[in-house]
Amino acid sequence: MITRTAASVDTHFTSSRWQQILSSVVTDADELFHLLRLNPAEAPPHLEAVKQFPLRVPIPFINRIEPGNWNDPLLQQVLPIAQELAPQSGFTADPLGEQDKNVAKGIIHKYQGRLLLIVGTSCAVNCRYCFRRHFPYEDNRPNTQQWQSALEYITNDTSISEVIFSGGDPLAVNDKRLAWLVKSIAAIPHVTRLRIHSRLPIMIPQRITDEMLSWFTQTRLKPVMVIHCNHPNEIDQDVCTALQKLRDHNVTLLNQAVLLKGINNQLETQIQLNETLFQQGVLPYYLFLLDRVLGAAHFEVPECEAKQLVGEMLKHCPGYLVPKLAREQAGAPTKLPILPVL
């Protein structure tokens, strides 16, 4: 019998609390429906989709979803549906060709001057549009010796000035391991920036603890945090508190979003998202077209519509509140900008 309620997880900003929240993520669809007062009889077919890509949603995010609303834009990002299993022409398991750039365990080296470390192999949430939903994380769990090899790789390539923590979600990893890794990277003279890409400041904002801020901000490396926020409803008071803590420690805050059909492909939603982020000290960075990963075709917004949308955003907003529209393409030397239609 389900007894948990959406408000039943303590949400204080302490090291033990965020781990409790992470360990208590909802993985059962019936429990999710119960917490959101959704009638299971009205649920879209989902069981086979869950088998291919499990359901994972943390309680703080569930608390922001409107109860009883199957069309809530936050719910739509995490709800498994049968459409994920439909034939999808042009969609692949590795749309960015990352496995060809997976040069060693834990390392993806696609672009000049920067390198990505797969620090975390799991997330607090399974976003249904995730371009790494088929990534072989089981082959990218470096042990200590293999992490040393990764550090040697960075040391030997003096063109690398920025190291990017990704995953999975790097902030799902414990502070002790992350602190060791950051200290080791800071000892490499030609690395000047540490960038973290994470959904946890949104999903479990309690992750932004004093311990986390210590290892992230107290080295010579310039700290940059790219949060992944797609809709203004994702931002509540706890998220604002987490972002304030990061700002107070001089972290450069950027946001990248994915353009998702029926979720954030409306002008008003995009304007509100970027205005809200800016009020919290976060600059809009990228708005990506959907990466064409198997299972996510139903989220795709046509490029022509995306170009018109960003063109309208430019008419309504100052330039610094309009993210760069872009796509990632396998083998390209950079993310590919897409010019808006004005």
CATH code of the domain in which 218 resides? 3.20.20.70
The answer to whether residues 66 and 118 belong to one domain is no
| Within-domain flag for 6 | no
148 and 283 together in one domain:
yes
pLDDT of residue 1: 37
| pLDDT for the residue 6 | 59
Band (pLDDT 50/70/90 cuts) for residue 4 is low
- pLDDT at residue 228 is higher than 60: yes
For the whole model, what pTM was predicted? 0.93
Do 179 and 328 belong to one domain?
A: yes
192 domain-assigned:
yes
Question: Are 247 and 190 contained in the same domain?
Answer: yes
Q: Please report whether residue 7 resides in a domain.
A: no
Give the pLDDT of residue 277.
Answer: 98
For residue 14, what pLDDT is reported? 75
In this structure, is residue 4 part of a structural domain? no
Answer whether 113's CB lies under 8 Å from 160's CB.
Answer: yes
Considering only CA atoms, which of 13, 64, 11, 10 is closest in space to residue 35? Answer: 64
Domain assignment present for residue 254? The answer is: yes
| Position 101 pLDDT exceeds 90 | no
User: Does the pLDDT value for residue 104 go beyond 90?
Assistant: no
Q: 274: domain range?
A: 98-337
Determine phi and psi for 332, rounding to 5 degrees: -70, 145
- pLDDT above 90 covers what percent of the chain? 74
Q: How many domains does the chain have?
A: 2
Known binding residue 123? Answer is yes
**Average pLDDT, integer, range 145-166:** 94
Of 295 and 132, the one with more pLDDT: 295
Q: Based on the fold, state whether residues 141 and 41 are members of the same structural domain.
A: no
Question: Do the Cβ atoms of 63 and 6 come closer than 8 Å?
Answer: yes
Q: Are residues 125 and 48 in the same domain?
A: no
Annotated binding-site residue? 229: no
Place of tokens 């610094």: 320
Q: How sure is the predictor about 137, in pLDDT bands with cuts at 50, 70 and 90?
A: low
Report how far residue 293's alpha carbon sits from residue 189's, in angstroms, rounded to the nearest whole number: 37
Cα-based distances in Å from 229 to 17, 64, 106: 22, 13, 25
